Amino acid sequence: MPNPKAQPLIVSSRQQALLKQIASRATNSYNLVTRAKLILEAARGVNNTALSQQLQLHRRRVRMWRQRWLEAGEQLASAEAKAVSDKQLRKMIENILSDVPRPGTPKFFRVEQVVQIVAIACEDPKKSQRPVSHWTPTELAEEAKKRGIVEKISPRSVGRFLKGSYSTTSSSSLLVKH
């Protein structure tokens, strides 16, 4: 079965200059630079297979970014017609070439709750009438629920809070290793 021919990209000379700036700026992320190069090469007529090999991307990724640029073409042309500044146009291009927010569960715990749980971990468990010498994630989760800090929390969540860099007082974990 023959491969369908990719739709050609239309990139104005101004967009091309801004894409070249993005692709050559050392402070830009690797992904942004790669995507700018992809659009520049696609505009020159390079096909998706060659682009995927050249940029070491999967062909689906190349197609996706080509399609995203095609969908934004009208928006970019309109911005250029309104004579937006290069800075504004570059920002638009960077937004087009940026990842969209991914779906997922929103943060379930507020910062205040995490801080309170970390504070409990810094206390002596015996003060809370816990029959342990050191906090475990399970003990901390139960104590946080008991104190009304959270309605529900898993020991794994507590472990993630304390394993991360939430604590500035100790370089080691605040939990007992199992």
Same domain, 92 and 19: yes
In a domain, residue 142? The reply is yes
Domain that holds residue 62: 13-96
pLDDT of res. 141 = 93
7 three-class SS: coil
C-alpha–C-alpha distance, residues 111 and 134, integer Å: 24
User: 40, 72, 96 — which closes off a domain?
Assistant: 96
Same domain, 127 and 84: no
Same domain, 89 and 121: no
Same domain, 33 and 72: yes
Query: Is 94 within 8 Å of 22 (Cβ atoms)?
Result: yes
C-alpha–C-alpha distance, residues 157 and 98, integer Å: 30
- Those residues whose C-beta lies under 8 Å from the C-beta of residue 8, and which sit 6 or more positions away, are 42, 43, 45
- The tokens describing 67, both together, are 């399609």
Same domain, 123 and 50: no
User: 49, 70, 96 — which closes off a domain?
Assistant: 96
Same domain, 92 and 142: no
User: 69, 96, 123 — which closes off a domain?
Assistant: 96
| Measured CA angle at 88 (ends 82, 89), to 5 deg | 70
Same domain, 25 and 50: yes
In a domain, residue 69? The reply is yes
**How many domains does the structure of the chain reveal?**
2
The one-letter code for the residue type at 70 is L
pLDDT of res. 170 = 43
For residue 11, the Cα-to-chain-centroid distance in whole angstroms is 27
Same domain, 146 and 74: no
Question: Residue 103 is inside which H or E element, if any?
Answer: none
pLDDT tens per residue across span 122-168: 999 988 888 888 899 999 999 999 999 999 999 998 988 888 644 44
Q: Tokens 């023959």 label which residue?
A: 2
Where does residue 153 rank: exposed (0-12), middle (13-18), buried (19+ CB within 10 A)? buried
pLDDT of res. 2 = 55
pLDDT tens per residue across span 24-42: 998 989 999 999 999 999 9
pLDDT tens per residue across span 106-132: 678 888 998 999 999 999 998 888 888
Quick one: average pLDDT of 169-178? 50
Quick one: average pLDDT of 76-102? 88
For the entire predicted model, the pTM comes to: 0.57
